Amino acid sequence: MRVVVVGGGFGGLAAAVRLAKLGHAVTVVERAPTVGGALSEVTEDGFSWDAGPTYTLLPAVVRDLFRKSGRPVERELELVPLDLVREHRFEDGSSVRVATGRAAQLAAFEELGAGLGRRWVDYVESYADDWDVLRRTYLENPWDPAAPSRLLDGREMLHKRLKKAFKDERLRLVAGHPFVAEGHELRNVPAWLGVTAYVEQRFGAWTVEGGMHRLGAALADRLATRGVTTVTGTEARDLVIREGRVTAVRTATGDLDADAVVCAIDPRGLPTLAPYVERTMPAIPPVVVHVGLSGEAPDLPHELVLHGDPMLVVRRSGDALTVHGRGRLSEDILRALARHRIDVRAQVAARVDRSPRDQVELWGSSPMGVRWQGRGTVRRRLGPRTPVAGVYAAGAHATPGAGIPFVGLSAALVAAEIGPA
């Protein structure tokens, strides 16, 4: 089959290499001059940073992708586990350093306060059964949105679950932070999503030696190895439908004929798909500032979360820092950081600012995917199938959602739906 993949971010690249290995004639159409989307590198004055992801959960998803599309990942990239996943610092001056594994987390939270270690691990383990159900019915096998699901249709939202689970506000902040960081409000996030804490504790957080952008670069190389045609600098404008089935992708420079199309962008960007997702809204990226430092960089873990308003997340790789900001940012982000006694203002040798709007313009939509708006949201996303014959959906805006592991799973689901040539 001729398959056109719209969008060359991680979702589009992962779908393209899988489908090419299954024997299809694949074309990726990407509006930017290069592929990679948020999984790319920013460079300035001799410094470099990951533009978006700096680590991933569920490394098995990346391993499976490489194995099913050619050579194993170990031949091309070094996946390394983060010993210390992140440190949280709270407004009262206390902090907790979160590592992988039950024993390490029990000890770390117990240090925060007597009995808190047990509370934390009990909370995390309460998701063990949910993880099994989600894996079987939602993440690893095509999902039937028409079938009711006790878990996915649950009424409970995460903020309620956290209130019940923890009297100590700091534990609520730790458990809620991934969703706040991705642009959601906890009262609209379904409780089952807390399963990510279980996944992180059990399987760890992993990065790629040299930066996560190398994953994007390795996939871009694999496009060539697998004979995928890559059309960059070309925006897809819509789908061409004949007799109820897709026949082409309309681009700024002409039509690309297709027997099947994978939409790996926000479907609201393609007028044919837009009506099916009109009740969704994008989750907005954070304010992002990349800084390159002269002199000695502060001794920080891979990720430091500074709770408060604004909430700041500092990610460090050597002398390169990236600061994400959420909430009340009425002053320069480095000044806000200095209030936490991390003052790098005099050391800034390079700086790149990216507002949420800059990022959405750069990548054509938000890499954070669909904003959670309560319990119906899960059914409002497309993917792996769509209501249009021959059209599939992958990427952050599709099932099962944003973040490298889930976007990788979306591509695997689409490849399984389309099947071998």
Ligand X SMILES: Cc1cc2nc3c(=O)[nH]c(=O)nc-3n(C[C@H](O)[C@H](O)[C@H](O)COP(=O)(O)OP(=O)(O)OC[C@H]3O[C@@H](n4cnc5c(N)ncnc54)[C@H](O)[C@@H]3O)c2cc1C
253 C-beta neighbours (distance < 10 Å), count:
11
Stretch that binds ligand X, among 99-107, 137-145, 155-163, 400-408 (CB under 6 A): 400-408
391 forms part of the interface with ligand X (CB under 6 A): no
8 forms part of the interface with ligand X (CB under 6 A): yes
220 forms part of the interface with ligand X (CB under 6 A): no
Tell me whether residue 344 or residue 402 sits nearer to ligand X (CB atom).
402
Which residue type occupies 121?
A: V
256 forms part of the interface with ligand X (CB under 6 A): no
* Furthest CA-CA distance within the chain: 66
Report the nearest approach of ligand X to the CB of residue 51 (Å). Answer: 7
Report the nearest approach of ligand X to the CB of residue 110 (Å). Answer: 27
Nearest one of 359, 53, 317, 390 to 205, comparing CA atoms: 53
Report the nearest approach of ligand X to the CB of residue 305 (Å). Answer: 12
Of the candidate residues 4, 5, 11, 382, the single one contacting ligand X (CB under 6 A):
11
Return the residues of window 28-57 that contact ligand X according to CB under 6 A. Answer: 29-32, 37-39, 52-56
Which phi-psi region, left, alpha or beta, contains residue 140 (left: φ > 0; alpha: ψ -120 to 50)? alpha
- DSSP secondary structure letter of residue 191: G
Of the candidate residues 404, 412, 413, 415, the single one contacting ligand X (CB under 6 A):
404
- As given in the structure block, the two tokens for residue 8 are 């060359």
Q: Are strands 391-393 and 260-263 parallel, antiparallel or unpaired?
A: parallel
Of the candidate residues 3, 7, 47, 393, the single one contacting ligand X (CB under 6 A):
7
- DSSP secondary structure letter of residue 331: S
Residues with Cβ < 8 Å from 271, sequence gap 6 or more? 238
- As given in the structure block, the two tokens for residue 78 are 């070094």
Of the candidate residues 17, 106, 112, 288, the single one contacting ligand X (CB under 6 A):
288
Of the candidate residues 236, 277, 293, 409, the single one contacting ligand X (CB under 6 A):
236
| 3-class DSSP state of 56 | strand
178 forms part of the interface with ligand X (CB under 6 A): no
264 forms part of the interface with ligand X (CB under 6 A): yes
Residues with Cβ < 8 Å from 355, sequence gap 6 or more? 287, 288
Of the candidate residues 395, 408, 413, 415, the single one contacting ligand X (CB under 6 A):
395
Which phi-psi region, left, alpha or beta, contains residue 341 (left: φ > 0; alpha: ψ -120 to 50)? left
Site for ligand X, rule CB under 6 A: 6-12, 29-32, 37-39, 52-56, 235-236, 264-265, 269, 285, 288, 359, 363-365, 367, 395-396, 402-404, 407
